C-alpha cells in the first residue's frame, strides 16, 4: 500500500475542472430561477441539525485514496451531511434540461444535488463528489432540495449492488441521516407525513447528463453548447479530443455504444430504471439517479415499478432499449448545430440498434452458458425461452441459476422439473401443456449444449458468472428501510455485504436469494414506487 492510499479527509486533493473551465452563473443568490448562459450555479449545502453516518462503502473511499479510519471521524458526517467543506471544495449545482416522459420539460437542473468538487487520487483519476438531498439550489423549482431516508437507502444500496454486478453506475460513498424531518406525500394521494431526512454522497467521474447539452440547444446557445461538448470530450473522452469537427460525431457514436452496453446489462440482471428521462441519462453511460427503480421478480417485460408511469408504462422493463434509443436521438438533435454531417449522427443511432441486437443475443447466450450466439441455431431457442418464461410467474434470477444445475444429459423429467420449480411462484401450476413446453425447451437446450461440448461444471461456472444469485430484491430493500426507520440500520450494511459478491453462493445468506414473499406482492415500496423521494 502506498502513502497515497491513506489520505486523511483534509488531505484529499481537488481539481474542480467543471467549475474552472465552464461558465458560471454570476448570480450567487440561492433563489429558484432560470439560469441562462451558464453550466452551473455556485451554491452551498444547507446545514443540518445532527448529521449521523449510518452506512458507507469503504471501497468507494478507496477510489478517493481515503484512509478507512476517516469514516469513523467526527468530521465525516459533518462534511458528507453538508455542514462543513474541505479546503478545495467549490460546491455547485448543474444546469440541465430534459425530456420527461417524452415531453420537453425545459430547465430542470440539480434541484437537490450539490457537487462538492472533484477529487484527484494518486493514480490521477478524477472523482466528482455529489451530495443528494443537501438542500435547495436555484434549480429546486417548487420542491425542497431534500431526500428522505427510504429513497436514500435505495440509492445507496442499488448504486453499490449494480457496481458489484458489473453494471456501469455512479457509486455511493456514504449515507448520512440529517436529524431533520422532511414532509412527503409518498403516493401523491393527499396523505403527507414527516419522514427522516438523509443525504447520500454519490461518486462518479462526471455527473453530466444528456440534459446538460439539451438545455443549451433548446436555448439556441450554440457557443455554450460547444464549450460543454469540448469540455466533455477533453475531460471524459480524451482519446477523441481534437480540433476537427468530426470529433462530435465520433463522440456521439461512443455515447451510443456505452449506452447500449449499459442497457444490455440492465436486461441481463433484471433492472428497471423507472425514470429514463433524458435528464437521468449519463453521458458516460452510467446508471444514474436511482429513484423509483425496481428489480424484476417474475419475468415480465411489461413491468414498471414506477406508479407515476403506470398508465403508459413508457419505462417498462422490455422497453428500456427503445427508450434509450429515443433519448440518444434527443441528444443527437441537441448537438446537431455542431455537426456538419447529419448522417454521421444517424450512423451512431444505427450502431446503437445493432449493438442492442447483437449484444442482447450474446448476453442471452452467456446467460444460457453457450460459447457463442449463432442466429441460425439459437434464434428459436431464445424466442421460446422468453415464451416459457411468461407462461407462469417465473422468478428470472432464480430461473437462470437453476438452469445451470440441470445436467446436459439429465433425462428425468421429475428431476428437471424439481430443479426448475424453485423459480416458480406457483410450482403446482407447472403441469399439463405448460410442463410439456418447458420440458421440450429444456431438451432443445440440452441438445444445443452438446454442440459446445462443455462439461456441466464448466457451463455452470460460466453461467453463474453472468447470472447473479443475489440482487437487490425490492422487498429486501424495503425490509432494510423498515428497520432503519425504526432506528436499526444494521440491515443496510448486511445487505451491502451480501451484494458485494452477487455471483457467489454465500453460506448462511440463502434467505437473501429467496423469491418475493406474498406479503410484498402489492406492498408500497416493494412493487410500487412513486417519484416522491
Q: Which is nearer to ligand AMP, 266 or 299 (CB)?
A: 266
Backbone angles phi, psi at 205, to 5 degrees: -60, -35
Q: Does 108 bind ligand AMP (CB under 6 A)?
A: yes
CB of 94 to ligand AMP, least distance (A): 9
Q: Does 110 bind Mg ion (CB under 5 A)?
A: no
Q: Which is nearer to ligand AMP, 76 or 315 (CB)?
A: 315
> What is the contact mask toward Mg ion in residues 226 to 265, using x (rule: CB under 5 A)?
----------------------------------------
How wide is the angle at C-alpha 289 spanned by C-alphas 286 and 294, nearest 5°?
95
> Grid coordinates representing 246?
468530426
CA–CA separation, 495 and 490 (whole Å): 9
CB of 492 to ligand AMP, least distance (A): 21
Q: Could you say which of 111, 122, 166, 407 contacts ligand AMP (CB under 6 A)? A: 111
CB of 97 to ligand AMP, least distance (A): 9
Closest CA to 150 of 204, 97, 98, 200: 200
At 351 the three-state DSSP class reads helix
Q: Which stretch binds ligand AMP (CB under 6 A): 107-115, 156-164, 224-232, 255-263?
A: 107-115
CB of 35 to ligand AMP, least distance (A): 12
Q: Does 289 bind Mg ion (CB under 5 A)?
A: yes
> Grid coordinates representing 222?
450554440
CB of 384 to ligand AMP, least distance (A): 37
Backbone angles phi, psi at 326, to 5 degrees: -60, -45
CA–CA separation, 204 and 288 (whole Å): 10
Q: Which of 279, 298, 309, 395 is catalytic?
A: 279
> What residue 112 binds from ligand AMP, Mg ion, none (CB within 5 to 8 A, per partner kind)?
ligand AMP
> Grid coordinates representing 56?
458507507
The site for ligand AMP, by CB under 6 A, has a size of 18
Q: Does 146 bind ligand AMP (CB under 6 A)?
A: yes
CA–CA separation, 317 and 375 (whole Å): 24
CA–CA separation, 134 and 115 (whole Å): 10
- The dihedral of CA 210, 231, 338, 356: what is its sign? negative
Q: Is 220 a catalytic residue?
A: no
Q: Could you say which of 25, 65, 70, 110 contacts ligand AMP (CB under 6 A)? A: 110
CA–CA separation, 83 and 178 (whole Å): 10
Backbone angles phi, psi at 427, to 5 degrees: -60, -25
Q: Which residues bind ligand AMP (CB under 6 A)?
A: 108-112, 139-140, 143-146, 275, 277, 279-280, 289, 291, 531
Q: Which residues bind Mg ion (CB under 5 A)?
A: 280, 289
Cite the active site residues. Answer: 279
Amino acid at each position: 500500500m502506498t502513502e497515497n492510499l491513506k489520505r486523511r479527509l483534509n488531505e484529499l486533493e481537488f481539481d474542480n475542472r467543471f467549475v474552472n473551465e465552464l461558465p458560471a452563473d454570476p448570480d450567487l443568490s440561492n433563489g429558484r430561477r432560470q439560469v441562462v448562459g451558464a453550466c452551473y450555479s455556485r451554491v452551498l449545502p444547507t446545514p443540518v441539525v445532527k448529521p449521523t453516518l449510518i452506512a458507507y462503502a469503504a471501497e468507494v473511499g478507496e477510489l478517493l485514496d481515503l484512509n478507512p479510519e476517516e469514516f469513523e471521524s467526527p468530521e465525516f458526517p459533518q462534511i458528507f451531511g453538508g455542514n462543513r467543506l474541505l479546503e478545495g471544495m467549490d460546491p455547485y449545482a448543474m444546469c440541465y434540461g430534459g425530456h420527461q416522459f417524452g415531453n420537453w420539460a425545459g430547465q430542470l437542473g440539480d434541484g437537490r444535488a450539490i457537487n462538492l468538487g472533484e477529487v484527484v487520487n494518486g493514480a490521477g483519476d478524477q472523482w466528482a463528489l455529489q451530495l443528494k438531498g443537501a438542500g435547495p439550489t436555484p434549480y429546486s423549482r417548487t420542491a425542497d432540495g431534500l431526500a428522505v431516508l427510504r429513497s436514500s437507502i435505495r440509492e445507496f444500496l442499488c448504486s453499490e449492488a449494480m457496481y458489484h454486478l458489473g453494471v456501469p453506475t455512479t457509486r455511493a460513498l456514504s449515507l448520512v441521516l440529517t436529524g431533520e424531518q422532511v414532509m412527503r406525500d409518498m403516493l401523491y394521494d393527499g396523505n403527507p407525513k414527516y419522514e427522516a431526512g438523509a443525504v447520500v454522497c454519490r461518486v462518479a467521474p462526471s455527473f453530466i447528463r444528456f440534459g446538460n447539452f439539451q438545455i443549451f440547444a433548446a436555448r439556441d446557445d450554440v457557443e455554450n453548447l460547444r464549450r460543454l461538448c469540448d469540455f466533455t470530450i477533453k475531460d471524459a473522452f480524451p482519446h477523441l479530443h481534437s480540433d476537427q469537427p468530426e470529433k462530435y460525431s465520433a463522440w456521439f457514436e461512443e455515447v451510443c455504444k456505452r449506452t447500449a452496453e449499459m442497457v444490455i446489462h440492465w436486461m441481463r440482471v433484471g433492472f428497471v430504471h423507472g425514470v429514463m428521462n433524458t435528464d437521468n441519462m449519463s453521458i458516460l453511460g452510467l446508471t444514474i439517479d436511482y429513484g423509483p427503480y425496481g428489480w424484476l421478480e417474475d419475468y415480465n417485460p411489461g413491468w414498471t415499478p414506477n406508479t407515476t408511469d403506470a398508465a403508459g408504462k413508457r419505462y417498462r422493463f422490455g422497453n428500456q432499449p427503445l427508450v434509450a434509443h429515443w433519448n440518444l436521438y434527443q441528444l443527437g438533435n441537441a448537438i446537431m448545430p455542431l455537426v456538419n454531417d447529419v448522417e454521421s449522427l444517424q450512423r451512431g443511432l444505427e450502431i446503437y440498434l445493432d449493438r442492442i441486437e447483437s449484444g442482447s443475443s450474446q448476453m442471452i447466450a452467456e446467460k444460457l452458458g453457450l460459447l457463442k450466439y449463432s442466429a441460425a441455431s439459437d434464434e428459436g431457442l431464445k424466442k421460446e425461452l422468453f415464451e416459457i418464461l411468461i407462461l407462469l410467474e417465473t422468478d428470472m434470477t432464480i430461473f437462470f441459476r437453476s438452469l445451470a444445475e440441470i445436467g446436459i444429459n439429465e433425462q428425468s423429467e421429475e428431476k428437471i422439473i424439481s430443479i426448475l420449480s424453485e423459480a416458480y411462484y406457483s410450482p403446482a401450476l407447472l403441469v399439463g401443456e405448460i410442463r410439456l413446453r418447458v420440458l421440450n425447451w429444456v431438451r432443445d437446450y440440452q441438445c444445443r449444449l452438446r454442440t459446445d461440448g462443455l462439461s456441466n461444471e464448466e457451463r455452470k461456472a460460466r453461467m453463474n458468472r453472468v447470472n447473479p444469485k443475489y440482487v437487490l430484491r425490492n422487498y429486501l430493500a424495503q425490509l432494510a428501510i423498515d428497520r432503519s426507520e425504526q432506528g436499526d440500520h444494521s440491515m443496510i450494511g448486511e445487505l451491502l455485504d451480501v451484494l458485494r459478491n452477487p455471483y457467489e453462493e454465500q453460506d448462511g445468506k440463502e434467505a437473501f436469494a429467496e423469491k418475493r414473499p406474498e406479503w410484498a406482492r402489492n406492498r408500497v415500496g416493494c412493487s410500487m414506487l412513486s417519484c416522491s423521494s
